Amino acid sequence: MMDIHQILKKLPHRYPFLLVDRVLEIDKSQQRIRALKNVTMNEPFFAGHFPKRPVMPGVLMLEALAQAAALLSFEIMGIDLDDDTVYYFAGIDGARFKRPVEPGDQLILDVTIERMKAGIFKFKGRALVGEELAAEAELMCTMRKVS
């Protein structure tokens, strides 16, 4: 388990772009994380997406999965990011969106590491509302020094 205070210490993201509210479980042996994003009507993107029928943008579901993946990576490797290191997307494959995510939903972010090689991590991510699949994708991420 990891609460919002611990997440803020690990991820550089801040409002309105921090998209993980709580880590429910990290299983190091299975290289898996389950995290939570509470979706509220107060999200800034709902004002324009869409005013009469608010729906969480798919790209933000993918970003939430990537943030959960970053937390998993840091935990598996036993590291914390410093101010000179950034965790970047390197690729997204097979992204599929299966149901809309609306205000009031709790998005469960379920991510497993598929492969770690040469500083590139490949993840399988699934975003669920209850037991229903909302989005899924294979994500590739890497860490780079920026200074």
User: For the chain, which residues make up each domain, given as ranges?
Assistant: 4-145
Q: Is the pLDDT of residue 36 over 90?
A: yes
To which residue do tokens 């998005």 refer?
Answer: 107
Q: What whole-number distance in Å separates Cα of residue 115 and Cα of residue 120?
A: 8
Q: In this model, does residue 44 exceed pLDDT 80?
A: yes
**Residue 43: pLDDT over 90:** yes
Determine whether 5 is an active site residue: no
pTM over 0.85: yes
pLDDT digits (tens, 9 = 90+) for 117-131: 988 999 999 999 999
Q: How far apart are CA 110 and CA 4, in angstroms?
A: 17
Which of these CATH numbers, 3.10.129.10, 2.30.110.10, 3.90.76.10, 1.10.15.40, describes 4-145? Answer: 3.10.129.10
Distances (CA, A) of 7 to 30, 60, 88, 96: 21, 18, 17, 27
Reported as a single tens digit per residue, the pLDDT across 12-33 is 999 999 999 999 999 999 999 9
Residues of the chain with pLDDT > 70, as a percent, come to: 100
Most confident of 81-90, 101-110, 137-146: 101-110
Pick from 94, 92, 78, 73: which is nearest to 143 by CA? 73
Catalytic residue among 13, 22, 32, 49: 49
